[in-house]
Amino acid sequence: MSDKFNLSEEDLSLFKSSIGNTKKIKQDTVIHKPQKRTQKVIETQKQQLAKINAEFYFSDNYQPLLQQDPIRYSRENADPYEIKQLRRGFYEPEFFLDLHGLTQKEAKKEIAALIAACLREKAQCACIMYGHGKNILKKQTPMWLAQHPNIICFHQAPKEFGGSAALLILFDVINE
């Protein structure tokens, strides 16, 4: 056994004088009982799981068939009248998301969180504002949205909701 942990009498006396009058504490073992999971904790875990699942759908390589100018998309099995109603402002957004100043990675996470919140709250319509800028998010956002199975359609927003710098999204909350 090595002598590296052995202290000289001089070092021990210096240590004892520096810490003063102390007494040794009896070591006891504390056993913590597991806490019961409350309903709130379970709901929080479900929300986190839904957010992770929503993020799963977004691939940067997927190229959906989008119609440009104005940007619009409709699922194959969707009613074509729905996108007309969306364009005309029949649906009013219940949630708004502003992506100004975010990176692509941050924007993807925020969009996933918005989708999870809309599905959780059974919101039928939401608005995503990405601004004009360098058109990076304007090009990427529709590609991400077209991949999600709970999005029926989206269309460039009317002027009162952001015009060409925003999208209105219609969700399939019935099948969720």
pLDDT tens-digit series, residues 72-121: 888 888 888 888 888 888 889 999 999 988 888 888 889 988 988 888 89
Please determine, for residue 37, whether its predicted confidence score (pLDDT) is greater than 80: no
User: Is residue 14 domain-resident?
Assistant: no
User: Is residue 31 domain-resident?
Assistant: no
Averaged confidence pLDDT in the chain: 82
User: Is residue 93 domain-resident?
Assistant: yes
Q: Print the domain residue range for 108.
A: 67-171
User: Is residue 133 domain-resident?
Assistant: yes
User: Is residue 117 domain-resident?
Assistant: yes
Total domains, the chain = 1
Around Cβ 165, how many Cβ atoms within 10 Å?
19
Q: 146: domain CATH number?
A: 3.30.1370.110
User: Is residue 35 domain-resident?
Assistant: no
Residue identified by tokens 């925003």 is 166
In this predicted model, which residue has the larger pLDDT, 129 or 55?
Answer: 129
Using the 8-state DSSP alphabet, how is residue 174 labeled?
S
Parallel, antiparallel or unpaired: strands 166-171 and 151-156: antiparallel
Q: Closest Cα partner for 155 from 135, 172, 141?
A: 141
Nearest-angstrom CA–CA distance, 96 and 168: 9
